[in-house]
């Protein structure tokens, strides 16, 4: 069923349910008003849901940006260590992460639009519900049951259409946030596990390699310092007077 047909069906069903419900048509006004208040509560919850989803995506984006900065630093370190292969790997992973960030940015924009529309819908419905409340009291006070029927039909028809529209907008927003939530949860789980391997491949190997290079280079520089303190030339054999055996030559 198409969206508009669905809306019309929902709206007519709501209207008929209200109009055919009570023996005294004036009672239908109170019933309709109750339903309106229920929907308003749902809309408020829906707006809160969209806002929560948006905040969650924003947090996730911040985490991904942090990971990106880390990869950038790794790439710099790798370049400094003359390891173009590692730098390339880090930059490839950074690009893959950037794609995730771009996707999240698009989703945030979409959620913001939905949030704005739902907030505006809530305000509109809220105003109409208040107007309806005033009208229903005036109808109940001024008209006999038979006379009230015409007035009631007018009011209920208009507000039922508004309710059907807001209800469907809420449903669409919920469906979208559900889809986004599922994707966000998958990324969250990967992040909590301390890795984004499924998105970017493991980073541990890069870190291990860089740590190895860093260890090697600090060992070499320490050794060079010690040798300098001892007044020895690297690779030069020690004299027997120094009370030591012949020194092994070391590759630096």
Task: For residue 114, count other CB atoms closer than 10 A to its CB.
Answer: 21
Q: Coil, helix or strand for 230?
A: coil
Other beta carbons within 10 angstroms of residue 43's beta carbon come to 23
d(CA 21, CA 141): 20
| Closer residue to other proteins, CB minimum distance, 183 or 232 | 183
Q: CA 181 to CA 158: how far, in whole Å?
A: 35
The least distance separating other proteins from the CB of residue 129, rounded to whole angstroms, comes to: 10
Say how far apart CA 217 and CA 72 lie, in whole Å.
Answer: 21
List interacting residues with other proteins (CB under 8 A). Answer: 1-5, 7-8, 117, 120-121, 123-124, 127-128, 131-132, 135, 154-155, 157-159, 161-162, 165-166, 168-169, 172
Report residue 178 as tokens. Answer: 């559900």
Shortest distance (Å) from residue 203 CB to other proteins? 37
Q: Closest CB to other proteins among 8 and 188?
A: 8
CB of 46 to other proteins, least distance (A): 12
CB closer to other proteins, 45 vs 172: 172
C-beta closer to other proteins: residue 32 or 100: 32
End-to-end CA distance of the chain: 76
Give least dist CB 174 to other proteins, A. Answer: 13
């Amino acid at each position: 069923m198409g969206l508009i047909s669905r809306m019309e069906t929902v709206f007519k069903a709501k209207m008929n349910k209200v109009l055919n419900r009570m023996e005294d048509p004036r009672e239908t006004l109170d019933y309709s008003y109750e339903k309106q208040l229920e929907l308003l509560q749902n809309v408020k919850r829906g707006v809160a849901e969209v806002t929560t989803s948006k905040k969650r995506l924003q947090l996730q984006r911040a985490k991904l940006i942090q990971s990106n900065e880390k990869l950038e630093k790794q790439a710099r370190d790798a370049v400094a260590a003359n390891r173009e292969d590692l730098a390339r790997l880090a930059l490839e992973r950074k690009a893959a992460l950037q794609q995730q960030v771009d996707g999240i940015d698009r989703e945030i924009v979409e959620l913001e639009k939905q949030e704005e529309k739902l907030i505006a819908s809530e305000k509109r419905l809220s105003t109409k519900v208040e107007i309806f409340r005033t009208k229903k009291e005036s109808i109940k006070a001024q008209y006999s049951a038979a006379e009230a029927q015409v007035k009631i039909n007018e009011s209920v028809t208009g507000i039922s259409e508004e309710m059907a529209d807001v209800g469907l907008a809420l449903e669409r927003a919920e469906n979208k946030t559900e889809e986004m939530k599922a994707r966000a949860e998958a990324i969250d789980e990967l992040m909590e596990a301390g890795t984004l391997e499924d998105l970017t491949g493991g980073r541990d190997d890069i870190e291990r390699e860089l740590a190895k290079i860093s260890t090697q280079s600090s060992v070499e520089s320490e050794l060079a310092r010690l040798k300098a303190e001892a007044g020895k030339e690297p690779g030069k054999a020690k004299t027997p007077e120094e009370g030591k055996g012949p020194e092994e030559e070391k590759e630096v």
